[in-house]
Structure formats: C-alpha cells, structure tokens
Structure 1
Amino acid sequence: MDTVPNHPDPAFPRFHARPGKGWINDPNGLSYVDGRYHVFFQYNPDSARHHGICWGHLSSADLVRWQEEPVALRPQPGGPEALGCWTGVVTDDGGVPTAAYSAAFSGLESEGGNSRVVLARGSKDLATWTQDGHVAAGVPPDPRITAVRDPFIFRFRGRRFALQGAGLASGRAAVLLYSVDDLRSWKYEGIWFSSDHPLAARHLPAEIWECPQLVRVPDSSGAETWLLMTSLWLSTDHHEHPNGVGYLLGALAPGLAGLPVFAPETGGKADLGRDFYAPQILPLPERTLLWGWSPESTGSEDRPGRSPEQTDDAGWAGVLTFPRQLSAHGGALAVEPAPELRAYRGAQHHTGAAGTLTLPLHAEAHVTGGEGRIRLVLSSARRQRTVFTEAVAGGDELRIFIDASIMEAYRHGSVTTTLRAYPAGGEVWQLELPHGASADVWELRHPGQA
C-alpha cells in the first residue's frame, strides 16, 4: 500500500506512513537491507488505544511509496513480553537480523516501570520473526535505579555496546551502558551518563530518559561529532510530552577498559513543537536519518485537538513523522527533510507569492526571505486559530509540510517544529507572510497520481 490515500477521515494523513487503523507510537528497529528501508513501530492493530503493543512494520525502496508488512512481533502469553513488545532496535548478529527490545514486567504505562531486553530472530528480508523469549539483559541489581527501558545498540572502536534509558532514586535521569560482545548476554557496565552533568540538566530535564541514542553525525566542520538524543519523560505525562526531546553534541573517546566516554559540548531541543516524541535514528554510511512519533493532541482553546472519544471513533491514533536527515553545523543540530520528499510535489498553487496564501489540505510551502513573523492559521468566517508562528530575518528559509492534521516546519540549518491540528468544518489553512517574504506552494500528491 502507498499509505492510505482514500481514508474516510479527513484528518488522516495521506503522506505520512502508517496503517489505516489502530494505535501507533515509537518508531523501532530502523533498518536498511538490500535496498529497502524498514520502519517498525509500536502498534495496536485492534483499537486506537495504547494496549497490547505489537511491532508493526512498513517498508519502502524510496522513502515515498510505503508497503505495509505483516505484524513482526506480538505479546507472547506466558513469555517475558506478555505485557507488550516495547521499544527496541534491529541489529545484525552474525548475518541474522535480530530485534532487541523492551519486555515490560511492571507498569511502563504508569509509574516508571521496568523491563528486560528480549531478543527475536528475523528472516533475511525482515518479513518473518521468531520469538523464543530469550532475555539478554535483566534489570541491573543497583538500588539507585528505579526504572529502565529502551535498548539502543551502537559500535565504537570495533566493539558493540548498548544503552538503556533509566530513572534514578535521586530523581535524576540516566543512561546505562552495556558491553555487548555476545548479543545473547549483555554485560552491565554501570550508570554511564546522567542529568547530574550541567549540560544535561539544562538541555535534557526529565525524571526518566527514554529512547536514548548515540550516533555519529556528519559535521560541516569535519569534526568527529557524536549525538546523544533522549526523550524527556515526566510522571505527569500521558501520551503528551511537553518536555519533548533533547540532544547533546560532543566527543566520544575510549576510557577505562576501552569503554566509551562521552564529553558533551553543546545541546538543545531536537524539535520545537509539542507533538514530537520517542524518535529513533538510522545511521547510514552516507547520511543519518530519523523518524519520530507524533501523538494525537487534545489541544486547547486556541489549538484545535481531538478528544479521546473522537479518537476512538476515528479508529486510529499516532503518526510517524516524515524521514529527517541529521547533521551538525556550528555546534548545533541541523534537521532537513529527506530529499526524497520532493517526489510528493504535485500541482504548484503559488510561485513567488507574497501576503496571505490559502493552502491545500495536503501541501508543501517553501518560504524564503522577509523580516517579521510567519503565521500558519486555520481560518474560517468566524475565527482564526494560530497553529504555528515563527520569526524570520534575512536569508532564513523554511519548508512547511501540511498533511491533514500534522504540520512539520523545517528551518534550514536548525531543528524542526512538529504540531498537530485538526481543521473543523469550514476551516482552511492559510499562510501569512511578513514583508519581503515569498513562498512557492505545491499540493502534495502520490507519485503516479494525475
């Protein structure tokens, strides 16, 4: 399937990859195998509720046309993942694709929660999976650790290591380190990094760091730069995460016994919107890609949302973001839309236009120049609701994507803003440009559509 272009719900995104029904959240197991991208994700195919979590699976040869694959992992009655198959990665283990993921044995959905790392083996094409319940890592016997989850595997100086996110009894968030010379038996090396570090306290404020990831990213300076990214969990969160996702950039060096030591230098937010969480990164030889989860939003008076009852009636919840390309520039994270997304450009509605522009329900706007504030609003005869606003000056350049109820704004050389908004009857998207700014606007269409 190419997403779900004929879905009956007008708020359903037509160009962001996801199944036509059910709940989705964290992207998992990002892989590139034999010319195809594979995106797994937490998935309840039976309802729009966060329950009975499986691993769904989509694949694509071009990041534009997506095919829905069979469900990869399911909760196994009596097994360690009986309560759900949670966040994890797919790695190569001697030529065998292997998923390493969290299997919860206490409430990950409520007060922190703990999990073990469980392995499943896949076929060469990642289409079929065998779950035998093998536990590769349990909860470390450390009284300082109150919550643990979300394994991520990386390589450094020829060795394989893993991270897990954690919460500590002190109220700090942390990352745990493991040596993974044998994928079936991880060696716990200790609390590796925590929010005791001043830069982490500033840029990664949380009670638990979820979905920690450590990858090397291209740096325009030519430096060997490593990116630590974490999702910032608070006990008051309930599928809306106002702290969002933070990052640190720095250097990685070998320490005692060859274990990696991270020295952060700068940091910031990985996305400036409220509706972005639990991303996963796919490091490739030629580039570094990221997908994130954008949950449904209950909104506010000024920001249109959906009630839980409306989400239940719609039968679907959660969106995966467009694939994003990461790099470091001037000591900061730079996020761009994957170049392949240009294939979605259809009829051009505006060329070099200024002033206030009416946009299609599915659109890309490329804005350049100007001094002042851009505003993206939902407008009707009765009211205007501002969804997104940002100041621009001089040579600023933005690419804004609207796909029904999700908006992604990419500012060149900076990070993205991801927001959810649901047009009501009679509302249209309008883009208000400041003096001197102009925009090209395309309606999105699937390749091959007239």
Structure 2
Amino acid sequence: MNSSASPTVAVDRAFPTLHPRPQQGWLNDPNGICYRDGRWHVFFQHNPDSARHAAITWGHVSSPDLLRWEEEPVALRPQPGGPDALGCWSGVMADENGVPTAVYSGVQDASGHAQVTLARGSADLRTWQQDGEVAAGIPADQSITDVRDPFVFRWNGARYAIQGAGLEDGRGALLLYDATELSAWTYLGIWLTTEHPAAAAAQANIWECPQLVEVDGRWVLIVSLWKRRNGEHHLSGVAHLIGSMHDDGDGRPVYEPETCAATDGGPDYYAPQAVPVGDRVMLWGWSWESRAEEEADAAGWAGVLTFPRELGVVDGELVVKPARELVGYRRSARVAGAVTELPAVAEAVVSPRGDARVSLALVSPSGSRELYSVETARGVRVLLDASIVEVYREGSTAVTFRAYPVQDEKWELTVTGSAVVEAWELGLP
C-alpha cells in the first residue's frame, strides 16, 4: 500500500512500508475482520480527512495473501440524523443469511453513548446500506454508565453477543445479550466484571473492545483497558483471561476465567480484534503514534495496524506468533552476528544456545538509544517497518512499540551470549 509517488511517503521516514493502512488520515481500532471468497478484509476506525480522531468512518483494506494490501473505498460513514451521526465506531462482521452485516457502535452525539447499529454489505464488501438499524440500545440499568464495542459469538449452537462496559462504582464489565435475532438483541445482564479474582491483571474502569474466542480448546477473553485518572481517561494496554464456558442451568453461557495476563508487553498497542478462520485464530491490533500530535498533523496521518498474528494456548498460557505468511516478505538475507545493522524494513531472528541478551537500539555517530532489551533462553523474532517495531518471544506474547529514527540514526541489533542470528531485508513479493 506504500507508493513512492505519495507525498506522505516521500517526506516521512516514519510511514510504514508493509503494514496495512491508508496513505492519509487517522486510523485506530481494527474492526469487522473477515475472510470471504479467498480474500481477507480488515476494516478500522478512520478519519480520511485529518490525522485526528473525528467524524469516524470505517476504512477498509483487503488482501489475497496477508502480504499485499489494497486500499478499498470507505465502507461506513456517519449518517446525519442517524444513530451513528457522530461516528461509526468499533464492531465486528456477522453473516446474516449470507449477507455480510457490520455490527458496530453507532455514536449519535457528543455524549458518547453508543447503540449497536447494523449495516448490510454487498458480497464483495465494497458497498454498504446504512438504514439506521439499531439492534440494542443502552440498558436501563442505572449502574451502567458506558457501553460500547459489540462482539458476536456462538456457543452451543446459539448466537450471543457481549459489549464492553463501565459501571457507576468504577468497575469495568461485560454485558451479555441473546443475539438470536441479529436485528433485535435481548439484554441478559452484567456477565463479568473486574471484581472477579482472576481479573487482577485486567483492572480498568471500562473494558473496551472485548473479544471472546476459543483457542486450542480454551476460551480466551481479550479486553482493552480504559482507565480514569485525575479526571482524564487513559488507554492502558490490553489483557486477556483464559478460562472455560459452561451452562448456567437454563441454557445460557457462563464464562469462568482462571488466569489473566498482559496480551502485549509494549506501550503502543490497543484494541485488538480476533477472528477464527479455519484452524487459526487471527489477531490484528492498533498501534498509535508516540510522537507529538503536531508531527502527525504535519505528516497527514496517524495510527497503524499491526501485522496479523496467530494465537495459541500452550500449557495454559497465551502464545502469540506472527502470521505464517509473513515469511513471504523476506528478500535479501543480511550478514548477521553479535552486532547486526538492520535496514528500516527488516526482520531478525535470534535463536539462543543458552542464556542470551537481545538488544535493539537506534545508533548514530553521536550516541545510541536502546529501545528494547530482553534476557532470554528462548527465540526472539523482531519485525521492523519504519516506525513500528513488533517483537515476538517464543512461547509468549508480543511487544509492540513505536520509534522514529532521525537524521543519521540506524537500527542495530546486539546479542550477547551464545546464539544464532539471522536477518533479512523485507519487501513486497
């Protein structure tokens, strides 16, 4: 999706070459991810006219192979007078009798209150009908102060949905719905809160963008952590709970979490969306800019989708790997050793033969900025793309962060201890 003819790319070394995103505008939460007719589709919150979050539409990119991404027409737009008049926010894709249906948070006004809104798409997902159809409003329960980000799932042959929520007493929560009728949900109550003993690593005032997927026989719940501090809100990372589902005696699902941990160890990662496709569960996230807003304004863009990831559960812990297709980006191999200079778009794989320390830094004749380090006896895989860095740790989760090389700075990977290091420059097939 990069183009040397684009003025943004010509002047901004931070613009990613391989990560999917439009050439211009604001991007945040991935939405509506699906695989249809041999093509991957990823939607996302998008403001095509500014590098700021406003007048949110659903942007859309698609790919036949998870390597080459095509920017599609904007899918959903705010409808004047409709339930999404202020913006089409996060949600998922459902299939209703063969019709692709976007299920999303429609925000009508500055209050920020969201309603579950539906839009119907064409078979190729390029044209959409938005009729202001509302599947669920805000529950009447006065203890619920915030509701958003619907997620639809199936359990025991029935269709249910959850939404992220915040409660008056400061707890984050999930709300459960019967979504048998996609256009008319039945509210079933508060399903889970941050008060659960297993949710210690997922404390927040609002659980945003909940994702509930079965991975290797376990149910994994992923939540993004919205926290209120000193009268301001902070997006505070992503956590996952691993547990099981059982029947409440009346045929409804009960989720029983057992463990909880951070889903990504980096500072610049939020709002991932998970989708089962075949024998895999895939995950995309949003990585925001860590530079000043004024710099993003000048560049004309902000936010990037991560590379697609695959989820697994091994020995009761979540394991995150880059999608297997990404090896298709490998081009020329680099000479690698204890100290390896990496180009701006590159991959490095470190395979320790015992304990090793892996460090990634930006270096120049005037000094060095270490941006990541880990001591490990397990493999480490680093993917660089201009200003986004994704580090995958064998048998564990990922670390996502942003960094902006300046002037004569270059990437340098340093490995101490016994290890085999491989490196490649990356590019489009």
Normalising to structure 2: TM-score of the pair?
0.96
Which residue identity does 2:213 align to in structure 1?
A: V
For residues 292-312 of structure 1, what are the alpha-carbon distances to aligned partners after superposition, in whole Å with 9 as ceiling and x for unaligned? 000000xxxxxxxx2111110
Query: Is 2:13 aligned against 1:10?
Result: yes
Query: Is 2:258 aligned against 1:265?
Result: yes
The 8 Å contact of residues 3 and 66 in structure 1, kept in 2 or not, is answered as: no
Query: Is 2:189 aligned against 1:190?
Result: yes
1:321-360 matches, within 5 Å, as 321-350=306-335, 353-360=336-343
Query: Is 2:40 aligned against 1:37?
Result: yes
Which residue identity does 2:304 align to in structure 1?
A: V
Quote how far apart the aligned CAs of 1:372 are: 3.6
The 8 Å contact of residues 246 and 254 in structure 2, kept in 1 or not, is answered as: yes
Quote the Cα distance in structure 1 between the aligned partners of 2:2 and 2:102: 25
Quote how far apart the aligned CAs of 1:413 are: 1.1
1:285 aligns to what? 278
2:62 aligns to what? 59
Quote the Cα distance in structure 2 between the aligned partners of 1:157 and 1:368: 42
Structure 1: stretches of 5+ with no match in the other structure: 219-223, 298-305
1:295 aligns to what? 288
> Structure 1 residues 165 and 37, CA, compared in 2 at 3 Å: closer, same or farther?
same
Quote how far apart the aligned CAs of 1:63 are: 0.3
2:362 aligns to what? 378
Quote the Cα distance in structure 1 between the aligned partners of 2:275 and 2:427: 26
Which residue identity does 2:22 align to in structure 1?
A: P
Query: Is 2:326 aligned against 1:362?
Result: no
Query: Is 2:316 aligned against 1:316?
Result: no
1:400 aligns to what? 382
Query: Is 2:394 aligned against 1:412?
Result: yes
> Structure 1 residues 107 and 328, CA, compared in 2 at 3 Å: closer, same or farther?
farther
Which residue identity does 2:14 align to in structure 1?
A: A
Quote how far apart the aligned CAs of 1:114 are: 2.1
Identity level (%): 53
Query: What SS class does the counterpart of residue 10 from structure 1 fall into?
Result: coil
Query: What SS class does the counterpart of residue 11 from structure 1 fall into?
Result: coil
The 8 Å contact of residues 227 and 233 in structure 2, kept in 1 or not, is answered as: no
Quote how far apart the aligned CAs of 1:71 are: 0.4
Quote how far apart the aligned CAs of 1:46 are: 0.4
2:209 aligns to what? 211
For residues 109-158 of structure 1, what are the alpha-carbon distances to aligned partners after superposition, in whole Å with 9 as ceiling and x for unaligned? xxxx4210010000011111000001110000001101000000000001
Quote the Cα distance in structure 2 between the aligned partners of 1:261 and 1:434: 48
Quote how far apart the aligned CAs of 1:254 are: 1.5
Which residue identity does 2:23 align to in structure 1?
A: G
The 8 Å contact of residues 90 and 149 in structure 2, kept in 1 or not, is answered as: yes
Quote how far apart the aligned CAs of 1:255 are: 1.2
1:428-439 matches, within 5 Å, as 428-439=410-421
Which residue identity does 2:203 align to in structure 1?
A: P
Query: What SS class does the counterpart of residue 408 from structure 2 fall into?
Result: coil
Which residue identity does 1:385 align to in structure 2?
A: R
The 8 Å contact of residues 227 and 248 in structure 1, kept in 2 or not, is answered as: yes
> Structure 1 residues 272 and 5, CA, compared in 2 at 3 Å: closer, same or farther?
farther
Quote how far apart the aligned CAs of 1:373 are: 2.1
Normalising to structure 1: TM-score of the pair?
0.92
Quote the Cα distance in structure 1 between the aligned partners of 2:3 and 2:418: 38
**RMSD of aligned C-alpha atoms?**
1.4
The 8 Å contact of residues 410 and 416 in structure 1, kept in 2 or not, is answered as: yes
The 8 Å contact of residues 360 and 370 in structure 2, kept in 1 or not, is answered as: yes
Which residue identity does 1:249 align to in structure 2?
A: I
Structure 2: stretches of 5+ with no match in the other structure: none
1:303 aligns to what? none
Query: Is 2:251 aligned against 1:249?
Result: no
Query: What SS class does the counterpart of residue 416 from structure 2 fall into?
Result: coil
Quote how far apart the aligned CAs of 1:387 are: 1.1
The 8 Å contact of residues 399 and 409 in structure 1, kept in 2 or not, is answered as: yes
The 8 Å contact of residues 82 and 108 in structure 2, kept in 1 or not, is answered as: no
Higher strand share: 2
For residues 76-117 of structure 1, what are the alpha-carbon distances to aligned partners after superposition, in whole Å with 9 as ceiling and x for unaligned? 111110110000011000111111100124547xxxx42100
Query: Is 2:389 aligned against 1:389?
Result: no
Quote how far apart the aligned CAs of 1:3 are: 4.0
Quote how far apart the aligned CAs of 1:273 are: 0.2
Quote the Cα distance in structure 2 between the aligned partners of 1:317 and 1:205: 28
Query: What SS class does the counterpart of residue 37 from structure 1 fall into?
Result: strand
Quote how far apart the aligned CAs of 1:264 are: 1.1
1:22-101 matches, within 5 Å, as 22-101=25-104
Superposition misfits of 4+ residues, deviation over 6 angstroms:
237-240
> Structure 1 residues 259 and 332, CA, compared in 2 at 3 Å: closer, same or farther?
same
